[in-house]
Amino acid sequence: MPLRTSFAQMNCSFARAIDVIGDPWTLLVLRECFLGVERFEGFMQALGLARNVLADRLQALVAEGVLEKLPVEGHARHHAYRLTEKGEALLPAMVALMQWGDVWISGAGAEPILAVGPDGAPLAPVGLRRANGRPLRPQDVRFAAGPGAEALTRGHLAQLQAQGRK
């Protein structure tokens, strides 16, 4: 897919992340992984998508190291797909997106699924914090060139800053 290739080459970790997981079906496959689905037929049953689409998304996630494909004991031709550490690390972004959907689409009191802690209590809303741990409002966040910024990125950020934006 040329689209994904061009995203991967962007000088931006957000674009690079989207290249790996920013396809709608991929995101739903990952949702099922976090819910505990591991088998091809389990994904099929939960999502009802075309077999070739599911196979393509699972293969890509394994190739990217987000999932690992493991043999199932006693079933020579069966496999389980499990989140790697890289995959598990996506959970804050995914919970934040689900919570956004809870607040702004489903509405408070109508949440279909809740992310809960070991005690069964719903998690706190995912929020932004300063390095010292103090909460920060979205409007107080700015963006700056990082150590991996290329000239084009630096220019883009400088131009926006000069225009009085963030």
Q: Of residues 81-100, which lie at the interface with a copy of itself (CB under 8 A)?
A: 86, 88-100
74 or 133: CB nearest a copy of itself: 133
Q: Site for a copy of itself (CB under 8 A): which residue of 5, 77, 105, 151?
A: 105
Q: Site for a copy of itself (CB under 8 A): which residue of 9, 13, 51, 69?
A: 13
77 or 163: CB nearest a copy of itself: 163
Contacts of 80 (CB under 8 A, 6+ apart): 38, 39, 69, 70, 71, 72
43 C-beta neighbours (distance < 10 Å), count: 22
Return the closest-CA partner of residue 79 out of 54, 98, 97. 54
Size of interface with a copy of itself, in residues (CB under 8 A): 93
Interaction pattern, residues 19-58, with a copy of itself; x per rule: CB under 8 A: xx-xxx--xx--x--xxxxx-------x------------
For residue 77, give the H/E element and its range. Answer: strand 75-83
With contact defined as beta carbons under 8 Å apart, do 66 and 20 qualify? yes
Contacts of 149 (CB under 8 A, 6+ apart): 11, 157
Q: Which of the residues 127 through 156 are near a copy of itself (CB under 8 A)? A: 127-133, 136, 138-150, 153, 156
